[in-house]
Structure 1
């Protein structure tokens, strides 16, 4: 297994991964609508100072996590596209992805990390609770999300 920054050569594998992962949550992968950010990773995540990481095994994507910069002035970032294939859940990959993102957020001197999620994302929610994310009021226009959280990063 290898954790790397996204590059275009993994686009097809990433889309297949998201198709599978989202189907487990009851959603259909929609790369031209709800999930259109997946076809603009460099512009949305990597250019403004964030990043998009993928966990690779045997050339296939098995996990992902992204850091999107929401507000450069107030130093607020957002966790996006945090998924691990069901077959690989419970093996520490989610924690490894989160640790990597948190380290990167601190290097970028972010003050706050936010995220949105669904109630049925129990594995991810356990990790968010482990890292002491707190529920907050809705901060974005995501119609699918049910829970909104943030973590104040320690200096």
Structure 2
């Protein structure tokens, strides 16, 4: 995967991105008062190959001027029918408000649909107000079944 949005490059994760992706996610979680959980909810970021690539998902990084400024990912899940869970969609504060999040979400949805998946599930926290607004304005419907301790909302979109 490789896409361009303004002066951003969205591309597939590489091993060299591990620390940079961790830093982005940890930073955004801290900004919103949410815990970084490397042994639990964030273990997948430390083991991208196992959690995303091996089961048929993808993990992307967003770069500007060679610096990782965001992430977005998905992997197949058992809930639903031909379903994936959208995960780790985080952008640093300096790159928000430019339409990048909406563009990233659209690109993820296109990639998911092209692989024949039919449902996209998202777990998020109410405190991530911008994310909640983006998901709700992009056709995601509230659902039930939160599985991640720091999350209090679940959404689903049928493709």
- TM value normalised by structure 2: 0.89
Structure 1 stretches of 5 or more lacking a match?
Answer: none
Structure 2 stretches of 5 or more lacking a match?
Answer: 1-7
Partner residue of 1:145 out of 140, 151, 155: 151
1:23 aligns with 30
Report the Cα offset of residue 73 of structure 1. 9.1
Structure 1 pair 152–72 and aligned structure 2 pair: CA distance change class (3 A)? same
Report the Cα offset of residue 58 of structure 1. 2.5
Report the Cα offset of residue 32 of structure 1. 3.3
2:121 aligns with 114
Distance of 1:31 and 1:65 partners within structure 2:
17
Report the Cα offset of residue 12 of structure 1. 1.5
1:86 aligns with 93
Contact 1:64 1:97 in 2 (8 A): no
Paired residues, number: 152
Partner residue of 2:78 out of 45, 66, 71: 71
Contact 2:22 2:46 in 1 (8 A): no
1:4 aligns with 11
Partner residue of 1:43 out of 40, 50, 54: 50
